[in-house]
Structure 1
Amino acid sequence: MTDYSARAARVLGHIEELAAISEDAQGVTRTFGTEAFQQGRALVESWMRAAGLETRLDAIGNVRGRLVCPDPAAKTFVIGSHIDTVVNAGKYDGPLGVLLGLDLLEQLASQPAALPFHLELIAFSDEEGVRFHTTYLGSKVVAGSFDPSLLQRPDAHGHTLAEVLTAMGGRPEELAADALPPESWLGYFEMHIEQGPVLWEQPAPVALVTAIAGQRRVELTFRGMAGHAGTVPMRMRQDALTAAAEFVLAAEQFAQQHGQNLVATVGKLYLPQSASNVIPGEVVCSLDLRSPDETQLAAAYAQLQAQAAAIGQRRQVEVSWNLIQQTAPVACDAALNAELAQAIAEAGHEVISLVSGAGHDAVPISQVAPATMLFIRCYKGISHNPLENVELPDVAAALEVAERFLTRILHQHTPGSC
C-alpha cells in the first residue's frame, strides 16, 4: 500500500530546503533573476536529475525535467508551477506544485513500463511578475506567446529583461525555440494552494478548479498642485492624494455593490517627494480588477475609469489611466476536469468545484493546451504572506488524488497512440 504521508513529508522537507534560500534573512523572497532565485533553481534542477529526469534550463530560466516516451513523435503532458516568489512570501505558493509533480514523476521513473507519451515537469521562472511588472514570463515562453518587446522592459534599477536573462545564463535570442508547439501538447496539470479560505472552512483537503478569473491591472497617476500645507486654503487646493483616496474608496464600494464575481484592489500607493507639510502634488496608485465573467470585468473597467475621470474633473486634478496587464477569464478543460473529479472521488473526498481568483501559469498554457488544476487547502486561506502554511494530511491527500489522476490519463493511452 502506498504511504502517501511519507511521500508528503519528503515533499515538505524539500519545501523547507528551498525556502531557506532567500534574498533576505527574515522571510522568503526569490524574485526572478536574483542570486537567490538562481540558487533555488539549481537546487530544484538537482532534485529533478536525482529523480531520473532529463533536465535542462531553457532560455527564459525555466527548469525543465522530462521523462521520455520511446516514440519521439508522441505528445507531451506537462505538470508545472512556478518557483519565483513575491517579496516576503510564504513557502508554498508555486513550489508546492512543482515538488508534488517531482514526486509523481520520480515514482514513474522507477518503473520499467514504457510511457505512452512524454511527461515534462516545468518549474516556471517568473509567474509573479514582481521584477518586471508582467506576469507569466516563464509559461508564456513555453506556450509560444511571449512578447519579444518585453526584453527591453527595465526593472527598478534600470536593468532590462534581456540584460538580466543574459547575466543569469539565459539566451534571449532562443526564446521562441523553447515553446512547445500546440500540436505537441497532450495536456497540462497544475497543483497549487488555494490562496483562499473555502477549503479551510469546509474543511476539505482538495478542490477541482473549474475556471480562473480574468484580470485587468491599471496604473493611475493623479497630478494636482503641490503647495504649502499652512498657506493654501482648503477650497483652493488641487490635492492629488485626496483625489486618489476618493478613487480608492470608490473602487471598493463599486466592487462591494456588484456581487461576489468581482473584486477590486488598490495595492500600491506612491507619493513622490512627499512631506508632512506639503499638499501632495502627485500620486501613483494601482488598480487590480478580477472576475470570471469577461462581460462584468469589461463593464467594471469602463465604469471605474469613468469614475476616476469624474473625480479628477471635480477636484481639478489630472488623471492618467494606463492599462498594464490584461488577461481574459479561463475555463479549465472539461475532459481533464472530469478525470480529475473522478480521481478526487476515488480517493474518498467530496468533489468541490472552485473558481480561482488568483492567476496561474495555467492561464497562458490554456491557450495552446487542455489544462486543469487541483487546489490544496492552506491555513486560513492565507497566501503571499509568511504565515502561508499547509498540513501534511492535506498534502498526502493531494498526492493520492494527483497520482490517481495521472494514472487515469496514462491508462487512456497506449504507446504509439499519441
Structure 2
Amino acid sequence: MSDRLRTGSLAIAERILDRCDRLGTITSTPGMIERVHLSPEHREANDLAASWLTEAGLETWQDAAGNQCARLEGERPDLPALVVGSHLDTVRDAGRYDGMLGVLLAIEVAARIAAQDQPLPFALEVVAFSDEEGTRFGSGLAGSRAFAGQFAADWWEYRDEDGLTYADASIDFGLDPGRIGAAARRPEALVGYLEAHIEQGPYLEDADRALAVVPTIAGARRFALTMTGVAGHAGGTPYARRRDALVGASELVAAIERIGIDSGTIATVGHLQAFPGGVNVIPGRVEFSLDLRAESNEARDAAWAEIDRVAQEIASRRRLDFHAEERYRADATPCAGWLQDAVTAGIRSTGDDDPMRIWSRAGHDGMAVHAVTDIAMLFIRCGRGGISHHPDETVTRRDVALALDALEQAVLAVAERVRAEPERLVTAAPPEPHGVGLH
C-alpha cells in the first residue's frame, strides 16, 4: 500500500502537531498535562480553540455546557449541520493527542472547505467537547450528554476533590446551571457526527497501517465487588479453619482474566484493597473493581454471567460471601453504516484500498451523541504499542496528514450522499450563538 497525500497536507499536519504542543502547555499541574472541566485551563483551551476556529473562517460560540462550538454555513442559511469534533479535557498526566488531535483535525478540515468556496449541502460545525473524561467530577461524557439533551440532573451535586459541587463550579465558570438545556441539539438540526481519534490500542501499529474505520464503540459495565470472609490471626488460625477473603478474591481475579481471554471480551480488575490490612491478619474483607467491555452487549453480558457464576462457586467452596454492585453501564454504540461508508471512502482516498475495521475498546463522545444523530469514527495509529492516557502518547506527522485528507474526503462523501438523497435533510433553525434558544 502506498499512501497518497494532498499538496500541503504535511505542512498542515505540522501545524496541527504544533497546536497539540501548545494545548499541552495549558495545564493545572506543572510537569504534566492535566486540564479538567470548568477550570481556568478549560477556559484558556476554549479561547485558544475559538481563535483558531475564527481564523479558519467559522462563527464561534461557547454553549451552555462549556463546549466550544463553531459553524460554517452551507449552500443556504439554517441548514442542518454535520458536526465534526472531539474533546479538549484530559485525564491526569495525559498525553498530547487524546481528544485534542480530533478537534484540531476538524478545525483544519473546516478551514479547507471554507477556503474552497464551494458550499456544502449542509452546514459544517466543529465542536470541542468539554468533559469527555470526567476527571474532575466523575461525570464522563458530560459535555456530549448535554449536547444530546441527556444531561443528568444529579450531576450538579457531584463534588471535586476540593468539595466544590459541579453546580458551583459551573457558576464560577460563568455558566448558568438552569440553562443547561440550551446546549441540547435537536435531531432534525443534525446530519450526523464524525470524530477522528487516536486508536488507543496497538492494532494499527501491529498491522503497519495508519487509519481505520470504527464499526462499534464498546459496551461497558463496571462493578464494585466484595468478597467477605472472617479476619483472624495469621499465626493462630489453621488453614482448614480459614475463611480468607483475599485468597478467594485472588482466585476470582485470575478467573476474570481467563474468562476475558476465552470470551474475547476485556475484563480488568484495576483496584483491590484488603481489610483490615494488617501484615499478620487474615483478610476478612476484600473490595475490588471490575471493568468489563465488549463489542456487543450480548458478549459483555454473557461474560458477566460467567464471572458471577464462578464468583459464587469460589465463595461457596471457600465459605465466603460474594457481593456485586453495578456502578456503571453503557451499551455498545454502533456507528451508522452510511457514515462508515463515508469514512471508508475517505481512507481509500489516501491509497488504502482495504481499510481496517477496529471496534473501539475505549469510550468516546459519540456514545452520547448517538442519542441525537448518526455517528462514525476514524481511528489514527498511535505508536509505542498504542499507549494512551500517558505522556508517551505519540503520532507521526505523516499519519496526521493522512487523517486530515481522509477526514476531509469523508465530509465530502457525506455531502455527495446528501445531494443524492436530499430527504436526509430537514431544514431546522441552527443553534444561535452561545446556545440561545436550544431547549
Measure how far apart 1:9 and its partner are.
0.3
- Within-5 A mapping of 1:330-349: 330-349=333-352
Please, what TM-score do these two structures have when normalized by structure 2? Answer: 0.87
Measure how far apart 1:198 and its partner are.
1.6
Provide closer, same or farther for how the CA distance between residues 276 and 54 of structure 1 changes in structure 2, counting only shifts above 3 A: farther
Q: Which residue of 2 aligns with 1:276?
A: 279
2: CA distance, partners of 1:158 / 1:127: 21
- Contact 2:63–2:182 (CA<8 Å) still a contact in 1? no
Higher mean alpha-carbon deviation, 203-212 vs 282-291, is at 282-291
Q: Which residue of 2 aligns with 1:320?
A: 323
Provide closer, same or farther for how the CA distance between residues 322 and 41 of structure 1 changes in structure 2, counting only shifts above 3 A: farther
1: CA distance, partners of 2:99 / 2:219: 19
Q: Which residue of 2 aligns with 1:373?
A: 377
Please, what TM-score do these two structures have when normalized by structure 1? Answer: 0.91
Q: Which residue of 2 aligns with 1:287?
A: 290
- Within-5 A mapping of 1:183-222: 183-222=188-227
- Contact 1:218–1:287 (CA<8 Å) still a contact in 2? yes
Provide closer, same or farther for how the CA distance between residues 357 and 99 of structure 1 changes in structure 2, counting only shifts above 3 A: same
Measure how far apart 1:411 and its partner are.
4.1
CA deviations 1:182-216 (Å, max 9, x no partner) are 12110110001111112112211111111222111
- Within-5 A mapping of 1:213-252: 213-252=218-257
Q: Matched residue of 2:291: which SS?
A: strand
CA deviations 1:36-95 (Å, max 9, x no partner) are 334333322332233332222222221112223464441111012111222222211111
One-letter amino acid of the structure 2 residue matched with residue 245 of structure 1:
S
Mapped pair 1:104 → 2:109: yes
One-letter amino acid of the structure 2 residue matched with residue 37 of structure 1:
H
1: CA distance, partners of 2:413 / 2:337: 15
2: CA distance, partners of 1:31 / 1:233: 51
Q: Matched residue of 2:286: which SS?
A: strand
One-letter amino acid of the structure 2 residue matched with residue 353 of structure 1:
R
CA deviations 1:5-63 (Å, max 9, x no partner) are 00000000000111122233333222333443343333223322333322222222211
- Within-5 A mapping of 1:6-85: 6-69=11-74, 71-85=76-90
One-letter amino acid of the structure 1 residue matched with residue 270 of structure 2:
G
2: CA distance, partners of 1:225 / 1:141: 46
CA deviations 1:302-327 (Å, max 9, x no partner) are 22223334434444444332212111
2: CA distance, partners of 1:270 / 1:66: 49
Q: Matched residue of 2:216: which SS?
A: strand
- Within-5 A mapping of 1:127-146: 127-146=132-151
Measure how far apart 1:148 and its partner are.
1.6
* RMSD (Å), alpha carbons: 2.4
Higher mean alpha-carbon deviation, 65-74 vs 366-375, is at 65-74
Measure how far apart 1:295 and its partner are.
1.6
One-letter amino acid of the structure 1 residue matched with residue 344 of structure 2:
A
2: CA distance, partners of 1:252 / 1:147: 33
- Contact 1:134–1:325 (CA<8 Å) still a contact in 2? no
Provide closer, same or farther for how the CA distance between residues 244 and 151 of structure 1 changes in structure 2, counting only shifts above 3 A: farther
2: CA distance, partners of 1:272 / 1:160: 31
Measure how far apart 1:263 and its partner are.
1.1
- Contact 2:73–2:79 (CA<8 Å) still a contact in 1? no
Mapped pair 1:399 → 2:410: no
- Contact 2:65–2:143 (CA<8 Å) still a contact in 1? yes
Provide closer, same or farther for how the CA distance between residues 21 and 314 of structure 1 changes in structure 2, counting only shifts above 3 A: farther
Q: Matched residue of 1:401: which SS?
A: helix
Mapped pair 1:361 → 2:365: yes
- Contact 1:152–1:161 (CA<8 Å) still a contact in 2? yes
Provide closer, same or farther for how the CA distance between residues 252 and 153 of structure 1 changes in structure 2, counting only shifts above 3 A: same
Q: Which residue of 1 aligns with 2:356?
A: 352
1: CA distance, partners of 2:303 / 2:261: 12
2: CA distance, partners of 1:196 / 1:352: 14
Mapped pair 1:182 → 2:203: no
1: CA distance, partners of 2:176 / 2:268: 36
Pairs aligned (count)? 415
Q: Which residue of 1 aligns with 2:299?
A: 296
1: CA distance, partners of 2:244 / 2:184: 49
Q: Which residue of 2 aligns with 1:148?
A: 153
Measure how far apart 1:240 and its partner are.
3.5
One-letter amino acid of the structure 1 residue matched with residue 23 of structure 2:
L
Provide closer, same or farther for how the CA distance between residues 89 and 242 of structure 1 changes in structure 2, counting only shifts above 3 A: farther
2: CA distance, partners of 1:84 / 1:314: 46
1: CA distance, partners of 2:43 / 2:282: 44
Higher mean alpha-carbon deviation, 104-113 vs 270-279, is at 270-279
Q: Matched residue of 1:325: which SS?
A: strand
One-letter amino acid of the structure 2 residue matched with residue 358 of structure 1:
A
Higher mean alpha-carbon deviation, 368-377 vs 68-77, is at 68-77
Q: Matched residue of 1:110: which SS?
A: helix
2: CA distance, partners of 1:193 / 1:402: 13
1: CA distance, partners of 2:273 / 2:137: 17
One-letter amino acid of the structure 1 residue matched with residue 335 of structure 2:
C
One-letter amino acid of the structure 1 residue matched with residue 333 of structure 2:
V
Identity of aligned residues (%): 38
One-letter amino acid of the structure 2 residue matched with residue 329 of structure 1:
A
Task: Specify every segment of 5 or more residues in structure 1 that has no aligned partner in the other structure, as ranges.
Answer: none
Higher mean alpha-carbon deviation, 13-22 vs 228-237, is at 228-237
Q: Matched residue of 1:248: which SS?
A: helix
1: CA distance, partners of 2:272 / 2:402: 41
2: CA distance, partners of 1:311 / 1:42: 55
2: CA distance, partners of 1:348 / 1:411: 20
